[in-house]
Structure 1
Amino acid sequence: MKRYITALLLACSMQAFTQNQTQATFIPPFDFPLTLSGNFGEIRANHFHGGLDFKTGGVIGKPVRALADGYISRIRVTNGSGYVLDVTYDNGYFTINRHLSGFLGAIAKRVEELQYKEESYEVEIIPEPGEYPVKAGQQIAWSGNTGYSFGPHLHLDVFETATGDYIDPMPFFLTRIKDNTAPKAESIMLFPQSGKGVVEGSQDRQAFQPNHPRPIEAWGVIGSGIKAYDYMDGVHNRYGVHTVILTVDGEEVFRSTVDRFSQEENRMINSWTYGQYMKSFIEPGNALRLLKASNNNRGLVTVDEEREYHFVYTLKDAFGNTSHARFTVQGKKQPVETLHHRDKYFFAWNKTNILQEPGLSLIIPKGMLYDDIALNYQMKADSGAVSFTYQLNDERVPLHGGCELRIGLRRKPVADSTKYYVARVTPKGLYGVGGKYENGFMKTHIRELATYTVAVDTVPPVITPISPKNWGRTGKIVYSIKDKATGICSYRGTIDGKYALFGRPNMTRTQYICELDPKYVKKGGKHVVEMVATDDCGNETVVRDTFVW
């Protein structure tokens, strides 16, 4: 209920936002023609893409400009977003510039000093509002490829100051970007509702090509979804679709308009989407404001007449380019199998759910599920395993937030309880989700219903020096640090016994780099570098190397 009240209150600001956005102006972040590698609201794992990705010609070091008059409000170095700069503007918006290669002047110096003071690559500074004022067009940073980035670009998030909502930056730059290419539909998916509908004789979801040549037989309550992408002139990238409208027999039943969302709504993308399919119906626990159902049934369609139902999708981008995809559903009366389930394995979306099994307890607070679910629960035993393996459900079910899971240990082959961790079991192997040992159980928080067990990690990280013979010549110390099980928890490097600033400039690589600076390392002699890395189970590796610089 709290989410719905919040959504209602925030929806009241949308009209004001539209008016404000048309009045406020931004100059472009660069002084060269703009092209995009990503747009607002693209479907990403567990979240929406929150801004625009501007291409920088395949290189780093392009001057990034202030979009209007304002001030720098936050300065960060993070593993995920690299060098990050927040700017609050006088026109009612603030922005986050991510994946930068570096800061300017006094800010760069201040960040470096703080990194050495705190002995941490990741740092944060919150300046006073008037400390770093900026004017429209003033350079504020250098573009880069840091953090979780697959190529040089600038990621720009724009927020409405009054609400804190992510908003689509595209309207500010429509006159700066050329686009006459309409979105294109790739696939349609029909979702017969459990115990209520059937498609082509099955209650399983099924995919069809757009403009399907023959009617699709169905009966009962079904939902529809579409996989579609937008495209732009002169580039090969594909983007998210701004507006999707579904009509059935000429009447609109659903509309999605990807123009804003809050941080609270971000993870609700898991409810709206199935893989890359955008559902044209709203699950009862999904409060995304960008979704609107017009048929008093959350966008679901009831096929209860033996006739043709004409479905039409209209796809629009932010520039107004439009395309259509059509298909026909033939109503054919047929039996719909009633959903059978055991009450203890049926979780309702609008209440707290508790599952107690031998060696397992799971608590899902109200508001964590987007829809009801009948779990396909199984417990699997292996005589040599530390614990049972628990299949909470055979298909991953995302949760809106962390939910407490406890798994009991059947045996303890290792006396040190810190070496145990809860792992999600996948076809590709085990993925650690953390956990702490308490009274015979491993306790953790999970964000999806899947398959879990307890595993042991006694293997320390692997630290490998990269081209150490070149360190003195290049002025860069480079190590690769990897851990197969629980992942790297912390690391620390020293040179001649003093803290050395090692960073992981790009998260797509395993390299940790220290750029030698005569302010911190005396030039002209032999030096000893030590790197220590610890994984999430406390296993530690220490390596020492020498170099001449």
Structure 2
Amino acid sequence: MIRLTLMALFLSSLVRAQFPPSPDYPKGYFSNPLSIPISLSGNFGELRPNHYHMGLDLKTERRENLKVFASAEGYISRIKVEPGGFGRAIYVNHPNGLTTVYCHLNDFFPELEKWVKDLQYKKESWYLNDEVPAERFPVKKGQFLANSGNTGGSQAPHLHFEIRRTSDEVNLNPMLFGFPLADQTKPTILRVAIYDRTKSVYEQSPRLVPVVNKGSGEYSTAVQTVSTPKVSLALTTYDTHSGSSNLNGVFEAVLFDEEQPVVGFRMDQISYDATRYLNAHIDYKTKQGGGSYLQHLSELPGYINSIYTRFNGDGVVDLSDGLVHELSIVVKDAYGNASKVKVPVKFNGVQAPRLALPGKRFYPMMVDIFESEECEFIIGERTLYDSVSLVHRKQPAMGAGVVSSVHTIGTPSIPLQDAMMVRIRLTESLTDFHKSKVIMQRITGTRKEVQKVSWEEDWALAGFREFGSFQLVLDTTAPEIIPVGFKDGANLSAASRVVFTVTDNFGKWKVLRTELDGKWIRFTNDKGKNFIYVFDEHCPPGEHELRIVAVDEAGNEREEKWRIRR
């Protein structure tokens, strides 16, 4: 036991010595924003689809309307109201140069709620992302801000809480600020993956290696003999905290070769501008195929401003000496609890043959283009994370309204950071009016999305952040505006609200205008579902005309009017 403790202390100090020193964040400056003990359903850096989780998800006892308090003295600097994402959120700037963010809220405190409503009517917009004058709402530490909720992109009641640098809005790991949270649990390591790094990570399936749990945070694998002189590793791992069964993310992991650090990642600060780079940190292909999250212990060549620190290379290990390399990975949480897995690997001296791949080769950090008679696509320098051979296939148009061939580009198992530009040529002659109603559609399995296009003669151009099959579609059908529970001439004197929904044949639309008697009226649209107006002073008793205008991606517009009585 003493030997294991000393080993853990040695490895812990070794890992800390290699990373750039973290700022000395003030411990105890920020208080728990809830009146109940902190329990996490999500932590900073946790792996989510297309992004890192950028704060803490604090449990609210599976219910809404718990009081949310300011974590420190400051002033309300920004308010956000949106159908997805944060839902209803408050930003508070603090004198120490940091900002706290409180998300998925229900009602704000009364004075702020009134200010927000007045601003929405002034701007004639329910959606807000607005700065608040610094002197307007100063707050004290522990002051009531709002009730917790489940608004926006939230799937269940909780409080999403962030700490950012005010100057550049880079998110910091709140677990480094000394919040009271019991954590004596070590991260769990489930499996290791080995990659042949003479190939692209997207043009192979890794060798998944089971691990043996030896207890006390120690794991091991059998010796792995491989047919490649260059390998990298990834692992599936998670962390919990004392008294919780939620599988949260880990804080850091470091790859060692013969006890010498090679490369490691640390979840201490991430910008929203960089959060999509999660797709370079994980084995995207395996996850897209229904597998587990595998976190690379190597830095892909297209990962810009990454969370990795290079100690002695990028994580690709050279096995050409034919010796057994005692590789290992040390994983830690933000409280210093550590686990270690040993992965001895050896090259067998016989490299597997490399097969020629069809398609054109594209590389990260390079701009390149594919051209054919009816389709072109442009890959920008910050679009790919690793090199790939991309195949283009053309098929005849199928389905009503399709006015081009169908062009399949690449495979959805290859992630994109920036959008690629796709150009498709019409295969039918259209008037200028009908060209204005053409959209580009991407299809992947049952998933579909459309984008508005720009034109260069008979070529349509649009940007997409996923590969798939692309076609041009003529859309002349306007969206439908559907009243819920009322009709023209309805007497709503006993009702508390009026509700409508919108549908569209291609699933992409927006509401341009909501009016009552010719004046803008505030309909909420949480989670992008029902539009709801709760009767208030803007709709006094009597006869009224309700007018709604919606438009789709092709520019088709629908207007509906109803007479209602209050």
Please give the range of the TM-score, normalised by the shorter of the 2 chains: 0.7 to 0.9
Matched, 1:419 2:437: yes
Q: CA deviation at 1:504?
A: 1.0
Helix, strand or coil for the counterpart of 1:397?
coil
Greater shift, 158-167 or 379-388, is seen at 379-388
Of 314, 317, 337 in structure 1, the residue corresponding to residue 353 of structure 2 is 337
Aligned to 1:4: none
Helix, strand or coil for the counterpart of 1:115?
helix
| Structure 1 residues 23 and 241: CA distance shift in structure 2, 3 A | closer
Of 31, 49, 52 in structure 2, the residue corresponding to residue 27 of structure 1 is 31
Helix, strand or coil for the counterpart of 1:95?
strand
Cα shift readout 1:115-172 (whole Å, capped 9, x = no counterpart): 2232211124323322321111111222221111112222112112344321101122
Of 371, 374, 382 in structure 1, the residue corresponding to residue 386 of structure 2 is 371
Distance 2:304 2:398 in 1: 45
Helix, strand or coil for the counterpart of 1:506?
helix
- Mapped contact 1:226–1:277 kept (Cα < 8 A): yes
Q: Which amino acid aligns with 1:252?
A: P
Q: Which amino acid aligns with 1:244?
A: A
Aligned to 2:60: 56
Aligned to 2:366: 351
Aligned to 2:310: 293
Q: CA deviation at 1:306?
A: 4.2
Aligned to 2:416: 399
Aligned to 2:15: none
Structure 2 residues without counterparts, runs of 5 or longer? 1-18, 213-219, 288-292
Matched, 1:476 2:497: yes
Distance 1:151 1:314 in 2: 33
Matched, 1:489 2:497: no
- Mapped contact 2:499–2:533 kept (Cα < 8 A): yes
Aligned to 2:481: 463
Cα shift readout 1:285-341 (whole Å, capped 9, x = no counterpart): 213442123332x10122324454333332211122223334443432223323635
Q: Which amino acid aligns with 1:394?
A: T
Greater shift, 457-466 or 223-232, is seen at 457-466
TM-score normalised to structure 2 length: 0.84
Cα shift readout 1:54-77 (whole Å, capped 9, x = no counterpart): 122222222221111211111222
- Mapped contact 1:228–1:241 kept (Cα < 8 A): yes
Q: CA deviation at 1:383?
A: 6.7
Q: CA deviation at 1:449?
A: 3.9
TM-score normalised to structure 1 length: 0.87
Aligned to 1:182: 186
Cα shift readout 1:219-240 (whole Å, capped 9, x = no counterpart): 2212211122222333332211
Cα shift readout 1:78-131 (whole Å, capped 9, x = no counterpart): 222222211110112112222111222332222212222322111243233223
- Mapped contact 1:418–1:437 kept (Cα < 8 A): no
Q: CA deviation at 1:526?
A: 5.2
Q: Which amino acid aligns with 2:516?
A: I
Q: CA deviation at 1:500?
A: 2.2
Q: CA deviation at 1:39?
A: 0.7
Aligned to 1:8: none
- Mapped contact 2:360–2:389 kept (Cα < 8 A): yes
Number of residue pairs aligned between Structure 1 and Structure 2: 525
Alignment of 1:137-286 (within 5 A): 137-174=142-179, 176-195=180-199, 203-211=204-212, 214-218=222-226, 219-274=228-283, 275=287, 276-286=293-303
Distance 1:115 1:333 in 2: 69
| Structure 1 residues 166 and 471: CA distance shift in structure 2, 3 A | farther
- Mapped contact 2:71–2:100 kept (Cα < 8 A): no
Q: Which amino acid aligns with 1:231?
A: T
| Structure 1 residues 153 and 318: CA distance shift in structure 2, 3 A | same
- Mapped contact 1:492–1:502 kept (Cα < 8 A): no
Greater shift, 183-192 or 454-463, is seen at 454-463
| Structure 1 residues 416 and 65: CA distance shift in structure 2, 3 A | same
Q: Which amino acid aligns with 1:520?
A: H
Q: Which amino acid aligns with 1:52?
A: L
Aligned to 1:448: 466
Of 136, 140, 150 in structure 2, the residue corresponding to residue 135 of structure 1 is 140
- Mapped contact 1:397–1:450 kept (Cα < 8 A): no
Aligned to 1:534: 551
Cα shift readout 1:453-487 (whole Å, capped 9, x = no counterpart): 22333333343333449965451212232334141
Distance 1:418 1:234 in 2: 59
Structure 1 residues without counterparts, runs of 5 or longer? 1-12
Distance 1:290 1:196 in 2: 21
Helix, strand or coil for the counterpart of 2:114?
helix
Distance 2:276 2:534 in 1: 37
| Structure 1 residues 138 and 478: CA distance shift in structure 2, 3 A | same
Distance 2:491 2:155 in 1: 26
Q: Which amino acid aligns with 2:175?
A: M
Cα shift readout 1:334-373 (whole Å, capped 9, x = no counterpart): 233236357x822222322122222222233333332322
Cα shift readout 1:408-465 (whole Å, capped 9, x = no counterpart): 1112578522322122220114222332344212211222344322233333334333
Q: Which amino acid aligns with 2:320?
A: D
Distance 2:485 2:563 in 1: 12
Cα shift readout 1:509-540 (whole Å, capped 9, x = no counterpart): x22111110x10013x4555343322211233
Greater shift, 416-425 or 186-195, is seen at 186-195
| Structure 1 residues 103 and 479: CA distance shift in structure 2, 3 A | same
Distance 1:74 1:46 in 2: 25
Identity %: 27
Distance 1:412 1:78 in 2: 41
Distance 1:153 1:295 in 2: 41
Cα shift readout 1:179-237 (whole Å, capped 9, x = no counterpart): 22222223322221244999xxx953333323386443312212211122222333332
Distance 1:339 1:184 in 2: 37
| Structure 1 residues 166 and 151: CA distance shift in structure 2, 3 A | same
Helix, strand or coil for the counterpart of 2:91?
strand
Greater shift, 33-42 or 140-149, is seen at 140-149
Matched, 1:504 2:525: yes
Q: Which amino acid aligns with 1:72?
A: I
Alignment of 1:55-134 (within 5 A): 55-80=59-84, 81-134=86-139
- Mapped contact 2:491–2:565 kept (Cα < 8 A): no
Aligned to 1:320: 336
Distance 1:145 1:473 in 2: 28
Q: CA deviation at 1:546?
A: 5.4
Helix, strand or coil for the counterpart of 2:280?
helix
